[in-house]
Amino acid sequence: MCEPPTVIGQFHTLFFGSIRMFFLGVLGFAVYGNEALHFSCDPDKREVNLFCYNQFRPITPQVFWALQLVIVLVPGAIFHLYAACKSIKQEDILQKSSYTGFYIFSVFLRIVLEVVAFWLQIQLFGFKVNAIYMCDVEALDKKFNITRCMVPEHFEKTIFLIAMYTFTVITVILCVAEIFEISCRRLGFLKTQ
């Protein structure tokens, strides 16, 4: 039991496993890898820069998306582990109702986790990265309360955010399509592989 029982599931594995991880690993590092080093505020003092950067990014996008990938992979991994322990063959998944139900549940759980991650991403990062971030430095007991900070490569970060939102939407669509494909196969509208 190495691959999903549906064509859409196999495409999802390819899309999710290859393209999305490559995009995050290679391009994500290029866009976000040195963000904290180049984040500068006025006055340009280390303590102000660090304080404001932590306010600007409570969690870095790279860490958030890596956690998202791992968490979304868990339901499928649990199903495949179960299938391997029970020696379930790929063709049996769509034949036996209990296996089909468990598999659909794992796909549905992936959808729920992706939607939650999508919502969290909106709450944490929004849809646009502005060039200027106004930081509240009152907690540092400075003479000033608000300072301006420059966000490096804000336009590239906005494009990357939109791309990651797009990946999440595509993943949800693929999961819904996979449930639809399984339902059609079980109802006899599609022939089994």
Is 55 a member of any domain?
yes
CATH code of 15's domain? 1.20.1440.80
Is 3 a member of any domain?
no
Whether the per-residue pLDDT at 17 is higher than 80: the answer is no
Is 192 a member of any domain?
no
Whether the per-residue pLDDT at 20 is higher than 60: the answer is yes
Q: 98-157 pLDDT, tens per residue?
A: 999 999 999 999 999 999 999 999 999 999 999 999 999 888 876 778 899 999 999 999
Is 75 a member of any domain?
yes
Whether the per-residue pLDDT at 166 is higher than 80: the answer is yes
- The range of the structural domain enclosing residue 23 comes to 8-187
Cα separation, 172 vs 73, whole angstroms = 13
CA-based nearest residue to 168, from 8, 16, 10: 16
Is 193 a member of any domain?
no
Give 24's pLDDT tier (boundaries 50, 70, 90). confident
Q: How many domains are contained in the chain?
A: 1
Is 63 a member of any domain?
yes
Q: What is the pLDDT of residue 174?
A: 92
Q: Residue 108 phi/psi, 5° resolution?
A: -60, -40
CA-based nearest residue to 63, from 10, 125, 155, 156: 125
